[in-house]
Structure formats: C-alpha cells, structure tokens
C-alpha cells in the first residue's frame, strides 16, 4: 500500500494533489466550519445519512431475499409479480419514486376522514419514514435481481445432498441455500452498498436533513458556492472508503475454497 | 362511483395534450430528457473508449490519472457531482468568455446537462469498455499487429467490433442509468421530465397524477430501450457460435 505510493511519479502526483488541496484551503472560505451551529448540523446530517444507509440496506435485503427466491424458483403467480415489481422500480428514477411516495401518496392521505386524529398521523406526516420506505424498496428491487442469480447459482448437488439427508425444506434453506447464496453476492453487495450510499442525498429533495441537505443550507445561508460542496464530496468519499474496507474485511473472514 | 368517474375525467383533462391540459408539456420534458440522455451517453462512450485505451495501453501517468478519475467519480453521489460540475463548467466557460473580452453568457441548459452527465457516464463507461477490450481474444489483436496494421485501424477493424458484444450488456445498463440520471438535473432547474411534472403537480395540486404519469413515461422509455438493446446485442453477436450450443 505504502510502497505503491513511494514511486517517484506517484509522489509528484501526491505533491500536486496536496498543493491543490492547500490552495483550496488557503483561498477558499472555510470559516463556517468553525461555527458550533454548523458543526452540530453536520454531525447530525452525517448520522442521518449513515443510519438511513444501514437501515435501508437491512430492510431492503430482508425484502430482496423473498423477491429473489420468488423469481428464481417460485411458481408463476409469485415470480411474475416479483419481476414486475423489480422492473417497475428499476425502470423509473428514484427521485421520481420519492416524489410519488411523499408528495403523491402523501397528498392523498388528508382525504381519508379521521386520519389526522389517528396514532399513525405523526408517522404519515414525517418525510423520514417515506425516505426509508422509498430507499428500502429500491434496494429490494435491485438486490432482488442479484439474489435471483445467487440462488440459481448454488450448485444443485448441495441442495440434493441436503434433501437426501432428510432435511426439511426450511432448514435446508436456512443452513445450505441462503448462506451459500449470500456468500456469492458478498463482492457484489459491497458495490451495491456504495451505490445505495450515493442514492441517499436524494432524500434531501423530500425535506429529510441528511448531510447533503445540511450543505445546501450552509450554501444558502453563507452564499458560498463551492466549499460546502467540496466538503460534501470529501464526506461521501470517506464513507465510500469505509464501506469498501468493511466489505473487504468481511470477505476475508468468509472462508472460500479456490480451485 | 360518480366521484370516481369525475376523478377519471379530471385526470384525463389534466393530462390532455392541448393546454389547459399538461400532456404536451410532459412530452416536451420527456423529449428534453431523451436528448440529454442520448448526448450524455454518446459523450460517455467517447470518454469511455479513450479512458479504456488509456487505462490499458497508456503511460503510467495516464493510467494513474484515469484511475483517479474513475475512482473519484464513482465514489461521489451523482447529485453532488452534478452540482459541482454544473457550477464549475458554467463558471469556467464564463471566465473564458470574459477573458476573451466577451460579456457573461447564459449557458444552454441542454449542453450543460450533456457535459455534466457525460463526464459522470464516462467513468463508468471506461470500466465497462476496459473489461470488454480485455475479453477480446488476444490472438486476434496479435494477428492484426503481426500483419502490420496501424493502431487506429486495428482499433477500428478488430478491437472495437469484437468487443461490442461483450460491452453491450454493460452499456445498456449505462444507458438506463443515463435516462434515470437526467431526473437529477431537476435540482439545477432543467425542464426535463421530473422537473416539468413537479411544476405541473405544484400548479394543479394533482401530485399523484403527474408523478404517476411521469413514472409511466420513464417506464415506457426503459422498456423500449431494453428491447432495442436486446436486438442490438443479437446483431453484435452475429456470426458468433452460440454458447453451449
């Protein structure tokens, strides 16, 4: 890692990059970073982004497993709707889906009598839950396709062996089929998590205050054009780096046999 | 039942082609989206071909620079990149015009959108095409070199046609991403489909109708292009032996 950086050409590049960074730092306006108010907002924004990412990945994967299973081996009355759902979500922009959920369906709610008095109203009014729903459905559709391939890719002999041992279907699924399918998707899943992270700033368009929304607010209040955006890019690159490292560590822990 | 009928009638009225209906506006938005997506995809493919050749055959400097380009673009959300590039590109063009003694100009929205999305697409296309070029049997390229074919003709006659069938699935995905990414240009105020339906929705307060209509339009676009790319893939595989055949 370090040795790869010590080649003269890379050291020159590194020096240029550092020079550009310090130029940005000296000539840019960074005073807003010192204000406690903005610091708190940024921390809260990063927390919102990360928790949105973790929550929607978990919910989405939980939905993707039955979706993938239905498409891979399900009867037509399960496979067809699952395919239609995946096609629908993958064929339209996420931004539009979020608009449709929050403004579209949200605008239909007040028409239902008595809904304002019900205990669900605070949830139905909060953009956060719409964001979680929209992003989870998106993960479910994309990962459903991935899981379909993974379920199909598990060698048939493994499942036949489990059946021959008299394993009940659910135990076979839990012990043999799912673990091997998950092991297959692990490299893909890292990339998909990065893609999902890059989808999170869209929730700012439906008033959720993630780190993107915080930088927009800083830009609006201080009238600085570039610096908050550069900070934003840096934050996202850091999160990407953490995701990549985490998945690399995770993949190394899973034993694989290479022929 | 009567209320439902009235709702259906008013929906049709809202989506009618001629004004007061918004049908024409939505279709114009779709046309803008398709234009930007096509331009960005074409620009992305050009950058991708250059980038892939740079990554495979370039000098160490070029290789490292391409690695930085693809890594950074793929690590930062498109929304943020679009904002940074949009301001940077328009600023740079204006500075250039001012330096040449002109006055500030308004940048054409479609051109800026194509440039910004094209740079983003280029990073992904680089990776797709690099993989596709690597999949071309090396004997073919070596044979062409042995025949003394100059590099440009080699690319045009051997490498590019042969890699097409490997690249098309990835490029089809990229095209779908391009059509969907045009929606992000709504944040910088382009009159593309999402922005137009947002305007229509907030003017008429019929949020559900217009977002659903825009969704249907995007869906039609993606279904049509999926069919088109399937045909293109079949065409690019002509003369190849079928796998497992």
pLDDT, residue B3, reads: 52
- pLDDT of amino acid B9: 60
Task: Show me where the domains of chain A are located.
Answer: 31-253
* Cβ separation B187–A205 shorter than 8 A: yes
| B61 interfaces chain A, CB cutoff of 8 Å | yes
Q: Indicate the residue of B205, B208, B218 with minimum beta-carbon distance to A91.
A: B218
Determine what percent of chain A is predicted with pLDDT higher than 70. Answer: 97
Q: pLDDT by residue (tens digit) across B57-106?
A: 888 889 989 999 998 898 899 888 888 888 887 888 888 888 887 777 77
Yes or no, beta carbons of B60 and A200 under 8 Å apart: no
Helix ranges, chain B (H) = 2-15, 23-57, 60-75, 78-99, 109-135, 138-146, 151-154, 160-181, 193-204, 207-236
Q: Which residues of A touch B187 (CB under 8 A)?
A: 205
CA distance to partner chain A, nearest, from residue B235 (Å)? 24
**Which pLDDT belongs to residue B227?**
92
Neighboring chain B residues of A198 at a CB cutoff of 8 Å: 76-79
Minimal CA separation from A11 to chain B, in Å: 12
CB contacts, 8 Å: B83 with chain A: 229
Residue pLDDT, tens place only, B181-216: 998 888 887 888 888 888 888 888 888 888 889 999
CA distances to A237, B30, B32, B112 from B36, rounded to whole Å, are 27, 10, 6, 9
Query: CA–CA separation, B33 vs B36, rounded Å?
Result: 5
Residue of A nearest to B205 (CA): A107
Contact A9 B64 (CB under 8 A): yes
Q: Is A165 helix (H, G, I), strand (E, B) or coil?
A: coil
The CA distance from B117 to B94, in Å, is 20
**Nearest chain B alpha carbon to A219:** B83
pLDDT of residue A63: 94
The C-alpha of A9 sits at a distance from chain B's nearest C-alpha, in angstroms, of 7
Nearest to A237 among B75, B78, B183 (CB): B75
Domain B2-236 has what CATH class? mainly alpha
ipTM of the complex: 0.81
Asked if A206 and A102 touch (Cβ cutoff 8 Å), the reply is yes
One-character DSSP codes across A179-242: HHHHHHHHHHHHHHHHHHHHHGGGGGGGT---HHHHHHHHHHHH--SSHHHHHHHHHHHHHHHH
Which residue on chain B is closest to A234 by alpha carbon?
B76
Report the residue from B74, B88, B194 with minimal CB separation from A93: B194
Mean pLDDT of A160-181: 90
Q: Please name the member of A99, A106, A237 whose beta carbon is closest to the beta carbon of B76.
A: A237
Judge whether A10 and B64 are in contact, CB under 8 Å.
Answer: yes
Confidence band (pLDDT; 50, 70, 90) for B49? very high
Domain ranges for chain B: 2-236
Is there a contact between A212 and B186 if contact means CB atoms under 8 Å apart? Answer: no
Give the one of B74, B79, B182 whose C-beta lies nearest to A201's C-beta.
B79
Pairs of CB atoms within 8 A across A/B: 108
Q: Hey, is the C-beta of B213 within 8 angstroms of any chain A C-beta?
A: no
Chain B contact present for A24, CB below 8 A: no
Of B78, B80, B222, nearest to A229 by CB-CB distance is B80
Q: Which CATH architecture has domain A31-253?
A: Orthogonal Bundle (1.10)
């Amino acid at each position: 890692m370090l040795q790869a950086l010590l080649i003269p050409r890379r050291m020159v590049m590194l020096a240029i990059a550092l020079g550009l960074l310090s130029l940005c730092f000296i000539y840019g306006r960074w005073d807003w970073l010192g204000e406690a108010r903005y610091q708190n907002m940024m921390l809260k924004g990063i927390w919102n982004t990360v928790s949105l990412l973790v929550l929607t990945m978990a919910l989405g994967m939980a939905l993707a497993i039955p979706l993938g299973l239905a498409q891979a081996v399900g009867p037509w009355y399960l496979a067809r709707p699952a395919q239609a759902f995946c096609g629908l979500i993958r064929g339209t922009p996420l931004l539009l889906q979020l608009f449709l959920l929050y403004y579209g369906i949200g605008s239909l709610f007040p028409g239902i009598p008595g809904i304002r008095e019900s205990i669900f109203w605070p949830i139905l009014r909060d953009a956060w839950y719409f964001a979680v729903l929209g992003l989870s459905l998106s993960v479910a559709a994309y990962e459903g396709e991935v899981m379909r391939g993974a379920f199909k890719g598990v060698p048939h002999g493994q499942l036949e062996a489990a059946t021959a041992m008299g394993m009940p279907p659910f135990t076979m699924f839990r012990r043999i089929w799912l673990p091997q399918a998950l092991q297959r998707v692990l490299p893909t899943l890292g990339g998909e998590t990065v893609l999902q992270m890059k989808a999170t700033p869209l929730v700012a368009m439906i008033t959720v205050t993630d780190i993107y929304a915080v930088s927009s607010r800083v830009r609006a209040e201080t009238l600085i054009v570039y610096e908050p955006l550069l900070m934003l890019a840096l934050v996202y690159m850091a999160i990407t780096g953490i995701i990549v490292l985490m998945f690399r560590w995770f993949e190394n822990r899973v034993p694989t046999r290479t022929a | 039942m009567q209320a439902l009928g009235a709702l259906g009638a008013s929906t049709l009225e809202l989506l009618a082609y001629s004004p007061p209906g918004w049908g024409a506006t939505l279709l114009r938005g779709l046309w803008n989206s398709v234009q930007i997506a096509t331009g960005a995809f074409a620009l992305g493919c050009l950058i991708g071909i250059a980038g892939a050749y740079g990554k495979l055959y370039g000098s160490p400097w070029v290789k490292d620079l391409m690695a930085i380009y693809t890594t950074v673009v793929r690590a930062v959300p498109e929304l943020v990149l679009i904002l940074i590039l949009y301001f940077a590109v328009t600023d740079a063009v204006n500075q250039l015009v001012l330096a040449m003694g002109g006055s500030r100009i308004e940048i054409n929205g479609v051109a800026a959108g194509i440039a910004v999305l094209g740079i983003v697409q280029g990073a992904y296309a680089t990776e797709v095409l690099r993989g596709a070029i690597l999949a071309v049997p090396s004997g073919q390229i070596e044979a062409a070199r042995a025949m003394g074919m100059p590099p440009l003709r080699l690319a045009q006659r051997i490498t590019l046609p042969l890699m097409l069938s490997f690249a098309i699935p990835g490029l089809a995905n990229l095209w779908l991403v391009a059509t969907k990414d045009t929606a992000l240009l709504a944040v910088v105020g382009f009159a593309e489909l999402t922005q137009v339906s947002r305007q229509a929705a907030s003017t008429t307060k019929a949020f559900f109708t217009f977002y659903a209509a825009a969704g249907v339009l995007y869906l039609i676009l993606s279904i049509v292009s999926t069919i088109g790319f399937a045909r293109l893939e079949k065409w690019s595989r002509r003369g190849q032996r079928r796998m497992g055949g």
